[in-house]
Amino acid sequence: MPVPHTLLISDLHLSEDAPHVRKRFLDFLAGPARKADALYILGDLFETWIGDDDIASPLNQKIVDALQALSSAGPALYLMHGNRDFLMGQEFALACGAQLLPDPTEIDLYGVRTLLSHGDQLCTDDVEYQTYRKQVRSSAWQRKVLALPIETRRQMAKDATAMSDKAKQAKTLEIMDVSPQAVTDLLRKHGYPRLIHGHTHRPARHVYRLDDHSCERWVLPDWTSVRGGYLQCDRNGCRSVPF
């Protein structure tokens, strides 16, 4: 019997332009994910999400069907918003048989208190991004945008991606990483849990001491045509499983 375990992934950035990643994800859902107690998707599953009324587009429908097949086969499925797919809503979650989690969410993972986050909130040195985030996460902005025609939203998403790519080129790597102070503040606030997040595309395990507590911070890998992977956690701890 395999040890009961949970898998965590993030930053797949699924899009019509990345068929390799989509195939790898579908293989993952039909393979390793089936044996898990639960699968947590910690944000940026999609490169863009323009609203739950776009579920029927070919890529989205394929992914919904595969997630639904997984959740009905047994594993619990949890979704968190990323900075790209923050418009994913209850309709999408319901169609997948998933539960949407707030960011951050604290869970008990086989006896270890674990805090889950996408990670973009921790990039506090990127002041410009945090201002943008505050705007697009407000319910007033989202209501207004979701009322626009789907084609208008599609174009807005394209423009936003282009703008974000351009802004990234002008920013240093330090600015786009998590701020050590933001991580410290978060760990203190929550009583020094294990922290698992994605977003920065810098997969790693950081182990260090803070205020006399030993702390562990896992950064999940992003998925591209050449790399990717998942975190597997059980009662003995977590390990990174690359593809």
Residues that bind Mn ion (CB under 5 A): 44, 82-83, 199
The nearest distance, CB 106 to Mn ion, in angstroms, is 20
d(CA 105, CA 196): 10
Q: Is the dihedral of CA 21, 26, 31, 35 positive or negative?
A: positive
Comparison of 8 and 75: residue with beta carbon closer to Mn ion: 8
The nearest distance, CB 43 to Mn ion, in angstroms, is 6
The nearest distance, CB 10 to Mn ion, in angstroms, is 7
Comparison of 24 and 197: residue with beta carbon closer to Mn ion: 197
Alpha carbon 194 to its chain's center: 17
d(CA 177, CA 158): 24
Comparison of 8 and 192: residue with beta carbon closer to Mn ion: 8
The nearest distance, CB 215 to Mn ion, in angstroms, is 22
DSSP state of 75: -
- Closest Cα to residue 51, out of 110, 107, 92, 112? 92
Q: Is the dihedral of CA 28, 81, 97, 235 positive or negative?
A: positive
Comparison of 46 and 192: residue with beta carbon closer to Mn ion: 46
d(CA 4, CA 1): 9
Comparison of 51 and 82: residue with beta carbon closer to Mn ion: 82
How many Å is the Cα radius of gyration of the chain? 18
The nearest distance, CB 179 to Mn ion, in angstroms, is 15
> Please, are residues 101 and 80 in contact by the beta-carbon 8 Å criterion?
yes
Number of residue whose CB is nearest Mn ion? 199
